[in-house]
């Protein structure tokens, strides 16, 4: 989202979720995203964006304290959305059979068996609906008329909700997500264009 908003050209290399070798080889840990350029390798999203946002356009009037506050908000989004959405994400083009099993086993350590999460779908869906209904979505952007890193943080953490087939998304939330999507020229699952042959990247 940030690179689209900043009009920064880049090449997206999508790893299979069960690929540990490449991220560990680049950064010493299995964590994405990773930004590699001629003289630097980064894998913290905020650091990557700061590296490309040379004029600080997305950070105007945004303090480190505010970023820390929104990181906690994003954690709350994940804690509410992920138990419901993770089982649905397995059906997206991102996963092949091996990586589906890898993802499930990894996530079940924290969330419990996916079969139990599926059984709890009505309850988890109600919790997410309540969370969204109480969330303070801005009329334009968090800081008014100007998009900031805070909007990108929030929307990137919420956007996986669109993989849920039977979930009604509040109109105010949807309009905000799409407002950010439009200004960032963001295309969810762009890498998995059905008109192209897709293969996960291997170095």
Query: Is residue 201 scored above 70 in pLDDT?
Result: yes
Question: Which pLDDT does position 56 carry in this prediction?
Answer: 95
Question: Which pLDDT does position 101 carry in this prediction?
Answer: 93
pLDDT in tens, 46-93: 988 998 999 999 999 999 999 999 999 999 999 999 999 999 998 888
Query: Is residue 19 scored above 80 in pLDDT?
Result: yes
Query: Is residue 13 scored above 80 in pLDDT?
Result: yes
Question: Considering the chain, what is the average pLDDT of its residues?
Answer: 91
Q: What is the share, in percent, of the chain residues with pLDDT greater than 70?
A: 98
Question: Which pLDDT does position 62 carry in this prediction?
Answer: 96
How many other CB atoms are there within 10 angstroms of residue 2's CB atom?
22
Backbone angles phi, psi at 31, to 5 degrees: -150, 130
How many other CB atoms are there within 10 angstroms of residue 150's CB atom?
22
pLDDT in tens, 115-144: 999 999 999 999 999 999 999 999 999 999
Task: Tell me the domain boundaries of the chain.
Answer: 2-192
Query: Is residue 184 scored above 90 in pLDDT?
Result: yes
Could you give the CA distance from residue 32 to residue 52 in angstroms, rounded to a whole number? 17
Q: Which neighbouring-strand residues pair with 42?
A: 35
Question: Which pLDDT does position 203 carry in this prediction?
Answer: 63
- Average pLDDT on 101-128 reads 95
Query: Is residue 192 scored above 80 in pLDDT?
Result: no
Question: Which pLDDT does position 11 carry in this prediction?
Answer: 83
Could you give the CA distance from residue 83 to residue 87 in angstroms, rounded to a whole number? 8
Question: Which pLDDT does position 194 carry in this prediction?
Answer: 62
pLDDT confidence band for 105 (50 / 70 / 90): very high
SS3 8: coil
Q: What is the share, in percent, of the chain residues with pLDDT greater than 90?
A: 68
Question: Which pLDDT does position 31 carry in this prediction?
Answer: 84
């Amino acid at each position: 989202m940030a690179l689209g908003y900043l009009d920064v050209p880049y090449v997206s290399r999508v790893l299979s979720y069960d690929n540990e070798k490449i991220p560990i080889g680049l950064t010493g840990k299995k964590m994405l995203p990773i930004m590699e350029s001629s003289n630097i390798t980064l894998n913290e999203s905020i650091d990557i964006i700061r590296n490309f946002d040379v004029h600080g356009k997305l950070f105007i009037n945004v303090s480190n304290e505010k970023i820390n506050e929104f990181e906690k908000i994003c954690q709350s989004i994940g804690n509410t959305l992920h138990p419901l959405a993770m089982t649905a994400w397995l059906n997206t083009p991102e996963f092949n059979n091996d990586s589906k099993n890898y993802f499930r086993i990894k996530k079940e350590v924290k969330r419990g068996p996916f079969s139990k999460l599926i059984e709890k779908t009505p309850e988890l869906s109600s919790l997410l609906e309540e969370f969204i209904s109480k969330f303070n979505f801005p009329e334009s952007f968090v800081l008014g008329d100007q998009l900031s890193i805070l909007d990108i943080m929030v929307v990137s953490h919420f956007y996986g909700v669109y993989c849920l087939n039977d979930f009604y998304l509040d109109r105010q939330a949807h309009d905000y997500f799409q407002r950010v999507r439009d200004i960032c020229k963001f295309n969810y699952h762009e890498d998995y264009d059905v008109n192209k042959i897709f293969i996960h990247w291997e170095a």
